[in-house]
Amino acid sequence: MERRDAMKVLAGASLLATGAVAYDEKLIVNKNDYDFKDPKNPTEYELKHTPEISVGSADAAGFSLVEVTVGQKGIIHPSVDNHWVYQVELFAGDKRVGVVDLEPTVSRGYLAARVQLKEVKTLRAIARCNLHGNFSATLTV
């Protein structure tokens, strides 16, 4: 096998490995959307699971740094063997602009993306907790 062909095989194998997850899929026991009991007065439990969206200023090309952290008001979601945020998604309007898959104990609920917000009215983030389901937050921009 020539060196170039070997490099192509290695590159393909690394891409496949990147898409694989190490956690046991059976640990994801709740994929339901969560409804807040009182959206104006969230509990600590709800704050711990709710994404917080922050937007930085736009760069010269018009792209803003959008960061999503799972947990609000200093209450951060844990990342332990049996309880963690396994995915965070970010939407600009109706278009998904970012997604991150996370592993327990070695990563925590966070996503960052540079997003062109020129025509965007809302940003929405979804945090997917393996035990407690999907928590959403929306920010008007």
pLDDT at 10: 46
Contact assessment for residue 63 and residue 116, using Cβ atoms and an 8 Å cutoff: yes
User: Regarding predicted confidence, which is higher, 7 or 42?
Assistant: 42
* pLDDT tens, residue by residue, 13-23: 444 444 566 78
pLDDT value at residue 101: 96
pLDDT, mean of residues 70-88: 96
Nearest CA among 112, 120, 111 for reference residue 62: 120
- CATH number belonging to domain 24-140: 2.60.40.730
97: closest CA among 120, 70, 72, 129?
120
Does residue 89 contact residue 98 with C-beta atoms inside 8 Å? yes
b/e burial code for range 116-126 (CB count within 10 A of at least 16 → b)? ebeebeebbbb
Specify the pTM: 0.84
Q: Does residue 139 register a pLDDT over 70? A: yes
DSSP H helices, 34-137, are 44-49
Strands 110-116 and 63-72: antiparallel
Taking 90 as the threshold, does the pLDDT of residue 2 lie above it? no
Give me the mean pLDDT over the 92-117 stretch: 97
Average of per-residue pLDDT values in the chain: 89
- Calculate mean pLDDT across residues 121-140: 98
Residue 54 bridge partners (DSSP)? 67
